[in-house]
Amino acid sequence: MRARLLIRILLAVVLALALLALAVQLAGARRVARTHPLPTIQPLDLPSDSASLARGEHVARALANCVECHADDFGGSVYLDGGPLGLVVGPNLTRGRGGIGPRLDPEDWVRAIRHGLAPDGRSLIVMPSETFVHMGEADLAALIAFLRQVPPVDRELPPTRLRLLGKAMLLAGRLPILVAEKTPDLALAAAAAPGATPEYGRYLADVSGCRGCHGLNLSGGPVAGPPGTPPTSNLTPAGPLASWTEEQFRTLMREGTRPDGTEINDFMPWRALGRMTDDELRAIWLYLATVPPLATGNR
């Protein structure tokens, strides 16, 4: 009799867990499939001259770090297989087999880059549009022009998808990866004039994602993300950079090594950011010296 009761209880628990998992799957799928109104995009004058295309490639490889998710040839890659969390894939951006390039017109590129939206209004996942929304009009036009003419790559990849744990964390607000919901609607503007100035350094910090990891105030601390995501460093004058030299900062960005010889973790995309020019790295260094000093974690 008691064994029969235990079996019934066990079956009830299993059924409840199965129903809960199904509810999470359905609610998570609805959350991911939610659509947003498509913003009206003002036409961009896409350049075709070699200097502009070279600038677009520099933006793609160094400033915006597109290669981190989309691979060096822009043919896409599996960026992260998080097991029960899900699969994050940077799609093939080219015109090759499996590429999305032929399906995107210039307005679609703008919506994806600056608004985090797919052509059907769904939010993109992980795409750092909350950073790219600060990109100046000239750099945005050069970037799109470059991406539209990269050589075709034949590479078919699975789509990004959340699994059960990922959907549960998304619904609980612990995995903020639907980027359209956290991207402000900002008007296109001209970037600060390129040069080794704090003003241009602020622009570079905005478009290269420094605030995405180190916080709006650049004071670092814990970061929302999958388990194992490390806290980020305090970049304000109250942090460790205050005792560094500009040369040590440049070494960190180019070689991934701190002044004490330790290596920074791979969550910091120094390999891409290290492709910035000396003037660009100097501009960021000069800008960081001007931000208010804050205790770590004052994001």
Residues in the chain: 299
Same domain? 229 vs 165: no
3-state helix, strand, coil in the chain (%, to 5): 45, 5, 45
- How far apart (Å, rounded) are the C-alpha atoms in residues 118 and 107? 11
User: Could you tell me which of 192, 215, 170 has the C-alpha nearest to residue 284?
Assistant: 192
Same domain? 68 vs 146: yes
Same domain? 219 vs 270: yes
Let me know if 270 is exposed, middle or buried by CB neighbors in 10 A (0-12, 13-18, 19+): middle
Same domain? 58 vs 162: yes
Residue 11 lies in a domain: no
Same domain? 98 vs 157: yes
Same domain? 238 vs 213: yes
Residue 68 lies in a domain: yes
**pLDDT tens-digit map of 219-230:** 999 876 666 778
The percent of residues above 70 in pLDDT, for the chain, comes to 94
Same domain? 132 vs 210: no
* Total of domains in the chain: 2
CATH of the domain at 141: 1.10.760
**Single residue among 121, 149, 182 that ends a domain in this structure:** 182
Residue 120 lies in a domain: yes
Query: Above 80 in pLDDT, residue 197?
Result: yes
**pLDDT tens-digit map of 81-107:** 989 999 999 999 999 999 999 999 999
| Residue 229: per-residue pLDDT | 79
**Single residue among 158, 182, 206 that ends a domain in this structure:** 182
**Per-residue confidence band for 277, with pLDDT thresholds at 50, 70 and 90:** very high
Cα 52 vs. chain centroid, distance in angstroms? 24
Let me know if 16 is exposed, middle or buried by CB neighbors in 10 A (0-12, 13-18, 19+): exposed
Same domain? 146 vs 213: no
Residue 294 lies in a domain: no
Decide which of 189 and 124 is more confident: 124
Strand 77-81 versus strand 161-162 pairing type: unpaired
Average pLDDT over residues 190-198: 92
Which residues make beta-bridge pairs with 46?
none
Residue 297 lies in a domain: no
Residue 32 lies in a domain: no
First to last CA, the chain: 59
Residue 64 lies in a domain: yes
User: Whose structure tokens read 């960026």?
Assistant: 79
Residue 29 lies in a domain: no
**Single residue among 155, 182, 209 that ends a domain in this structure:** 182
Tell me which residue range forms the domain holding 205.
198-288
